[in-house]
A and B are shown apart, each in its own frame.
Chain A
Amino acid sequence: MATLTISNLHTEVAQEDGEKILRGVDLEVSSGEIHALMGPNGSGKSTLAKVIAGHPAYEVTEGSITLELTDEDLSDIDAELDEDDYTWELLDLEPNERAALGIFLGFQYPAEIEGVTMTNFLRQALNAKLEERQELFEEDGEEAETEDEAGYDTSPMEGPADDGDVSVAEFQGLLQEKMEQLDMDSKFAQRYLNAGFSGGEKKQNEVLQAALLEPAIAVLDEIDSGLDIDRLQDVSNGINALRDEQGSGILQITHYQRILDYVEPDYVHVMIDGEIAKSGGAELAHELEDEGYDWVRDELQGAA
């Protein structure tokens, strides 16, 4: 069981006189929990998501984001663990290292990468994650086992056949299984990453990636926007499976109650002007749906 703890997080845009966006965010998300993060446009929700994942456009001026792991989370690690290996300060790590520790960001607008098939991308991502994960827990300077010069037994675009932990055949099976769970057409596997995908397909693809990478904590940024009702159900089923089957903790950023009918949150947080203004249970989302955000803002100002 992993816990993501955000403490007093302040960020600004990483340029001279950058705009302040987050002004002291506190939040804790653990494996197996679903947190909904709501709030008006421009309140800093997407920024928070990107900062957790390590986007270079933002500078953290104060605070911390730690990920605390347990033996359970580290059962796959083939190295002797010491105390330091259980708690990581994410702000010290590169985005891919954060991913390796189990942070996943589902994008509101995922990049479209032409010429790279889904299969190739997903297998490389999975192998990269596994490799980096192992390296993070090994003694400094101790290289992961050196691989022989990789040969290309398959298509060059699929990468070296013997590179990484998951073989092509093994991966194909895994991918197929996950795609079936999400009710995705098998031809997706051969399409270029997000290129020409509809909005709904992109969102489905984000959930598929989360399912494959099995994150400890998944931050899903407006995963429900632009979905029709059928897709919304598919995506919601995927999110529920992520929690129920893999035990991921989920921080779900959304504007609407709609998805929360399918993915019931344990906690709801309201972000206003770069702070968490109010937290509560699932009922808070209904209140917001009925009454908007102004009353939360008034409460916040009243308290100040």
Chain B
Amino acid sequence: MSSEEHLKQTDTEARFEFKKEEKSAFAAEKGLTEETIRVISEDKDEPEWMLQRRLRALEQYKEMPMPTDWPGQPDLSELDVDQIVPYIRPDVDVRGGVDDWTELPDEIKDTFDKLGIPEAEKNALSGVGAQYESEVVYQNMQEQWEEKGVIFCNMDKAVQEHEDLVREHFMTKCVPPSDNKFAALHGAIWSGGSFVYVPEGVTVEMPVQAYFRMNSEGMGQFEHTLIIAEEGSEVHYIEGCSAPKYSAFNLHSGGVEVFVGEDAHVQYSTVQNWSKNTYNLNTKRAIAEKGGRMEWISGSMGSKATMLYPSTILKGRGASDNHITIAMAGEGQDIDTGAKVYHNAPNTKSTIESKSIAKDGGRTNYRGLVHIADGAENSSTAVECDALMFDNESTSDTMPYMEINESKVDVAHEATVGKIGDEDIFYLQSRGLDDDDAKQMIVSGFIEPITEELPIEYAVELNRLVELEMEGSLG
């Protein structure tokens, strides 16, 4: 950090120091106006180009209609974006994040404590970035990464300190605001998130992690994650999300952009558990160059309605993509999730493995698109969807779209839908497990493909969430 930048930050710290008494240091007015956008941008001390991008995105958001006519789409009619506060910064007196866990306010530490995050830290998993409300407040990065030129910081900081990289990649080629209404909304009011840059040929051995948490009533969360993996590099990014229940509706509309360079390998894993009144509407996309490999591992829990279809554009010859998604829906929940893959070059390969669990009248839907472009010869794709239902009130649908414009390809799709078997439960009960434990064991086994891909703390958390969900003890 240059002395000038340092001064600027100290200045900023001072600016917020006197507001410490307040619950939140800053909250924008409810609703979405140009004025709100200007306030956010100014508060973040953003360069003019970012403000202009936000304003353009706002225009696009206003022009685009709400999606209402997809077959079997979740109902968004109760979502009122104007009632949502788009930006809240927690009361932390260090704006750019702190380097030491102990510097965090007790209240925030407690919240993370309950979710077992200090455990992860204790076990020396490197690079935990924790976001509390809209601001990354905790950053910890191992020195050796920095020496290799790896950058991991919060997105607001990246705009300041890595402006050229951000300007080139931020919502330009991967997820432009014009992509969909919620991408446009995100482009206008995004705040916080993570920036990861891995230079050519560098392998980041330990997973990079971020933790997002939403903690204020009626608040939206719009974090942006930008991952750039240069040629031949390798990184595993993990994001965990969780939110308690509140009476007002919440909106989460994140954006994730991943650039997988030639022969690079990026794994993006997330376990999300939003409160049952949250609309979880995200846009996540990766572009993979020649020989690049992208892996999406996602667990979608909670929320009132989720619409999330991580997508990969296989742009270069021999690029590959692997999706593993797990969704769980209980009473009053509609989880509409899946994957999209565009095979735009020859010899590209994709696999999609989707698993869903519906109980107590919940609905899960797999919505997937595999597009194979004319000329993408010798490409292959395999899609597998498994749905597990607990009762006759729950529903599960599979909507796999396949657009195949090339004849020399290999396409496979397989779907199974099953009710959780009485015989399976009886078998486990006859061995001493009670009814709940038996169901829990079957579900743990069902989601095992995802848990085995995750570092142990996340696997544990996912299992715990599922366990709580099964007991119905989550709000």
Question: Residues of A with Cβ closer than 8 Å to B?
Answer: 53-57, 94-96, 98-100, 104-105, 107, 110-111, 113-116, 121, 124-126, 128-129, 132, 152, 155-157, 192-193, 209, 213
Contacts and interface: CB of A to CB of B under 8 A. Distances in A.
A94 B429 CA distance: 8
A53 B437 CA distance: 18
B429 to A, nearest CB: 4
Contacts of A209: 431
A56 B431 CA distance: 15
Which has the most chain A C-beta neighbours within 10 Å: B432, B434, B448? B432
Interface string B169-192: 000000000000000000000000
B433 interface: yes
Contacts of A94: 429, 434-435
B383 interface: no
Given A111-B421, A156-B459, A157-B448, A99 B429 contact: yes
Contacts of A157: 444, 448, 451-452, 459, 463
B446 interface: yes
A95 B441 contact: no
A182 B432 CA distance: 22
Contact of A56 (B426, B427, B446): B426
A95 B445 contact: no
26 contacts: A53-B426, A55-B426, A56-B426, A94-B429, A94-B434, A94-B435, A95-B426, A96-B432, A98-B430, A99-B429, A105-B430, A107-B427, A107-B430, A111-B423, A113-B427, A113-B428, A113-B442, A116-B442, A116-B448, A121-B431, A124-B441, A125-B433, A126-B432, A152-B456, A157-B463, A209-B431
Interface residues of B, number: 29
Nearest to A121: B441
Nearest to A132: B432
B232 interface: no
A114 B437 contact: no
Most buried by B among A57, A95, A192, A209: A95
A193 B441 CA distance: 11
B422 A56 contact: yes
B243 interface: no
B424 interface: yes
B361 interface: no
Contacts of B430: 53-54, 95-96, 98-99, 104-105, 107
Contacts of B449: 115
B391 to A, nearest CB: 15
B460 interface: yes
Given A96-B429, A99-B429, A110-B427, A156 B434 contact: no
Contacts of B441: 113, 116, 121, 124
Nearest to A133: B432
Contacts of B428: 111, 113, 121, 125
B325 to A, nearest CB: 16
Which among A100, A114, A152 has the greatest number of chain B C-beta atoms within 10 A? Answer: A152
A189 to B, nearest CB: 16
Nearest to A106: B430
Contacts of A104: 430
Interface in B37-86: none
Given A124-B437, A128-B437, A115 B444 contact: yes
